[in-house]
Chains A and B, each alone.
Chain A
Amino acid sequence: MRPRVFALVAALVGLVALRAEAIEIQEVKTPLGIKAWLVEDKSAPLVALSFSFAGGAASEPESQKGVTSLMAIMLTDGAGPLDAEAFRRRQEDAAAYLGFGASDDRVGGTLRVLTANRDQGFDLLRLALTEPRFDADMLDQRRAQAIAGLNQAEQRPRTVAERTLMATMFAGHPYSRDSSGLRETLKTLTPADLKSRASALLRRDGLIVAAVGDIDAQELARQLDRAFGGLPDGKPQAALPGWNPPDKPRMLTIERPVPQSSVVMAMPGILRSDPDWYAALILSHILGGGQQSRLFEQVREKRGLAYSVSASLRSSDKAGMLVISTGSANERVAEAIHVIQGELARLRADGVTEQEVADAKTYLSGALALSLDSSGAIAGLLHSQQVDGLPRDFLDHRADLIAAVPKADVDRVARRLLRDDVMTTIVVGKPVGLAVER
């Protein structure tokens, strides 16, 4: 047994400098018809895989809220001949990391394995996808953890604010329900429920795969067919209903005994496919993206009203939002909200400056590269690029798409999106001096 440790030591200290090269994405199509994007990179002795299936928590029945998320977590809790502990030991012995999770729209996973243990890593992936066990005792364990997680989340002001926001803005739509489920529904879930959820969602149609690392196209094709080939074809369930965004302003407070109130303010945003996407990205950056944004300057730097204040675009299959988040002492949170509202009004009325647009473009063009600092991060980007329906050469053109946005478009999108007449504001804490519904 001893030599294996020494092999790892040698691999660790012998890791060579990574080569400089532009990201070159190949499209791989396997004999069984599975498609994947691949960046071959031999500079580190590992492979990172990022993948997902069409359909997520939003399409689960209301009576089984939480089933998709729990199913995803439990894919690595035993499969085929291996119970949960044996499965974990296999992962450890192969130094492989395999994990799954669910969003509203998709069930996704990542695999990371050292080159030397590639077969074992993909074997575990195949087992998890095609023969998950959902043993009753493991389900009990995960259920208890999930319920404890819900209990804790109810005491975290930031999480309460986020969940209340979703419940309010998406009232009546599947997105309103949190994917981690409800105590009542979690309590009723059975292994059979999880099994049927898995066979409904884990299908080859709608599968998206990205791979980065020390693997060539032919070998990747072979491994993908081994891992995913046993899954059934066929379309996942019907599409989600459309969303009717709020048509009036709302402000809600949820009381929690904390010194600092958490605030989220959200307006209907835009879909990723909207032609105004890049203008909105620039707008959101100018408003609240980082340490030079208007909100940072006005709320934090000038007045010291918050440590963290930011704005960001969020988009899913059926909806988009522009969300502003901050946290401020109960006594001062009313002022923080007032200042934010004032900045939104100013931006809507007066627009942005040429300098702000130029700075935002430089940042947004450069910042993407800064986050691509590991194989897993690159695989994640290539995966989301496919989810968004972007072409393989998208990264070559992204900077041009950003650069082409004129200031007039940003001003127009400011008028389109920054609307206090449809803004939902959630405050969680013990805010002083806010006129609100409760």
Chain B
Amino acid sequence: MAVERRPLDTFTLDNGLQVIVLPSGRAPIVTQLLVYKVGSADETFGRTGIAHFLEHMMFKGTATLGPGEFSRTVARNGGRDNAYTGFDATGYHQTIAADRLDLVMRMEADRMAGLRIEEKELRPEREVVLEERRMRIDNVPGALLDESVRAALFGEHKPYAMPTAGYVEDVKKLGAEDLAAFYRRFYAPDNAALIVAGDTTAEAVRKLAEIHYGPIPGRGIEPRHRPSEGPADLPRLVTRADVRVAQPNWSRDYLAPSYRAGDSRHAYALQVLAHLFGGGETSRLWRALVAESRLALSASAEYSPLSLGLSSFGVAAAPARVEAIPDIERAVADQMKRVLDGEVKADEVERTQNRLLAAAIYAQDSLGSGPRRYAAALATGNDIADVEAWPQRIAAVTASDVTAAARHVWRDERAVTSVLKPSGGAR
């Protein structure tokens, strides 16, 4: 099979900044995404929330830009900007008219080395960070349960157990020096990747990157480590009863390999497995639990290989009634047994592969998806060749690979079962 290369250029500046250019002339706009290879999993227990709080403070001024001036300037030039923090990555991105790439690159480089974290800006922003946590987590019973599930699955106080938003009591204590130390330790060109997509060329990006990012010295950042083992006290059951829950939920999460941790040869087969087992309304789980037995209102499976450390494989169902939960557990176990016994055959795998590959074609039609894909891959220890080889590696998965992957991951001693249910009492 002849494989053509996608239009992509890549190079690395002398200071270690890796640059990827994805040219596309569909519209006269560009997206710059700068991803730092650091996230909340690089924090320590008792000091959670630093990576995310720092992301907020990155908009609060440098030696040359005032608080809020970064975003104000982007908007005044007809562009949009934002940022995100994950367990392994922190990304900053702008989309703007192609002739303003110089502007956003100058500003992004400026805050890579010149951030000023001032107490008077930190104080109100801490409240903003806590409001964000209230909105996303404290107001949402399912999100609070997820925090407990992660703590059980990855082990109390371990990197992926600590919430990216941070614990409230930690965020309240964090000071300017905590954030500054984290910034000095992790924000450097040799710990970042720059992805530019849109109406530009590799030559233009190289020239601008050398001007703006080139002068910032690399720091020789030490490699990050993640635990290679999960906790010893699995399986566990985690339950949350909450007056705010109107519909119960049942899930089971298994520790799973990622592209870079654990038995990573299963990573591609696990993606196929997640789709055929619980990806949409033709999946095994949906047919058995929703369409046929009516035990559940929905059912799904989820797996992402993009993690620097171990990942998780999740199975979930929304029970039609709380009393149906034991039946759901039995039905899920029955469906898993069929897969483990080798019931998955080539034609089912092939249909699933077609769906995965078609979804990727549709994703390529969108300008924003390219930079996000490369950023997520690079920040979790993968390289460009891995991203480019994804279609072939997915297509190469066989039915026996899928069975082997299920046997590797679906083991009780790697599982956390969780139940979200209504509790009595007034609303």
CB of B255 to closest CB in A, whole Å: 29
Give A11 to B395 CA distance when docked, in angstroms: 13
Quick one: which of A4, A304, A370 contacts B79, CB cutoff 8 A?
A370
Give A114 to B362 CA distance when docked, in angstroms: 9
Quick one: which of B75, B128, B298 contacts A290, CB cutoff 8 A?
B75
Scan A299-338; emit 1 where CB is below 8 A from any B CB, else 0: 0111111111000000000000000000111000000000
- Contact flag A304-B246 (CB < 8 Å), given A260-B135, A292-B72, A370-B29: no
CB of B353 to closest CB in A, whole Å: 5
Scan A350-378; emit 1 where CB is below 8 A from any B CB, else 0: 00000000010011011101101111110
Residues of chain A within 8 A of B13, CB atoms compared: none
Give A285 to B126 CA distance when docked, in angstroms: 26
Closest partner residue, chain A, to B318 (CB atom): A148
Give A255 to B426 CA distance when docked, in angstroms: 11
Quick one: which of A12, A157, A304 contacts B364, CB cutoff 8 A?
A12
Is A189 an interface residue, CB under 8 A from the partner?
A: no
Is A43 an interface residue, CB under 8 A from the partner?
A: yes
Is A256 an interface residue, CB under 8 A from the partner?
A: yes
CB of A432 to closest CB in B, whole Å: 14
Tell me if B365 and A375 are in contact (CB < 8 A). Answer: yes
- Contact flag A327-B427 (CB < 8 Å), given A12-B364, A148-B247, A290-B75: no
Tell me if A9 and B1 are in contact (CB < 8 A). Answer: yes
Is A381 an interface residue, CB under 8 A from the partner?
A: no
Scan A114-147; emit 1 where CB is below 8 A from any B CB, else 0: 1000000000000000000000000011001100
CB of A422 to closest CB in B, whole Å: 28
Interface residues on B, range: 35 or more
* B-side interface mostly: mixed
Is A404 an interface residue, CB under 8 A from the partner?
A: no
Give A246 to B287 CA distance when docked, in angstroms: 48
Give A9 to B130 CA distance when docked, in angstroms: 45
Tell me if A370 and B95 are in contact (CB < 8 A). Answer: yes
List CB contacts (< 8 Å) of A90-107 with chain B. Answer: 92-93, 95, 97
Quick one: which of B7, B127, B135, B247 contacts A308, CB cutoff 8 A?
B135
Is B138 an interface residue, CB under 8 A from the partner?
A: yes
Closest partner residue, chain A, to B128 (CB atom): A304
Tell me if B291 and A257 are in contact (CB < 8 A). Answer: no
Give A375 to B346 CA distance when docked, in angstroms: 33
Residues of chain A within 8 A of B80, CB atoms compared: 290, 367, 370
- Contact flag A303-B358 (CB < 8 Å), given A359-B75, A367-B78: no
Tell me if A12 and B247 are in contact (CB < 8 A). Answer: no
Is A238 an interface residue, CB under 8 A from the partner?
A: no
Residues of chain A within 8 A of B123, CB atoms compared: 304
Residues of chain A within 8 A of B10, CB atoms compared: none
Closest partner residue, chain B, to A144 (CB atom): B297
CB of A282 to closest CB in B, whole Å: 13
Not counting A8-B358, A374-B366, a sample of 15 additional A-B residue pairs whose C-beta atoms are within 8 angstroms of each other reads A1-B346, A5-B353, A6-B395, A9-B357, A10-B2, A10-B4, A46-B362, A93-B351, A114-B358, A140-B294, A144-B294, A148-B246, A155-B245, A362-B77, A373-B368
Interface residues of A (CB under 8 A from B): 1-2, 4-6, 8-20, 41, 43-46, 84-85, 88-89, 92-93, 95, 97, 112, 114, 140-141, 144-145, 148, 151-152, 154-155, 157, 255-260, 290-292, 297, 300-308, 327-329, 359, 362-363, 365-367, 369-370, 372-377
> 14 A-B pairs, CB-CB below 8 angstroms?
A10-B2, A12-B391, A13-B5, A13-B6, A15-B361, A89-B282, A114-B358, A157-B139, A297-B68, A327-B134, A329-B130, A329-B134, A369-B97, A370-B29
Interface residues of B (CB under 8 A from A): 1-7, 23-29, 59, 67-68, 71-72, 75-81, 95-97, 123-132, 134-135, 138-139, 199, 243-247, 280-282, 287, 290-291, 294, 297-298, 318, 320, 346-347, 350-351, 353-355, 357-358, 360-362, 364-368, 388, 391-392, 395, 427
Closest 3 CB pairs of A and B: A366-B78, A304-B127, A95-B358
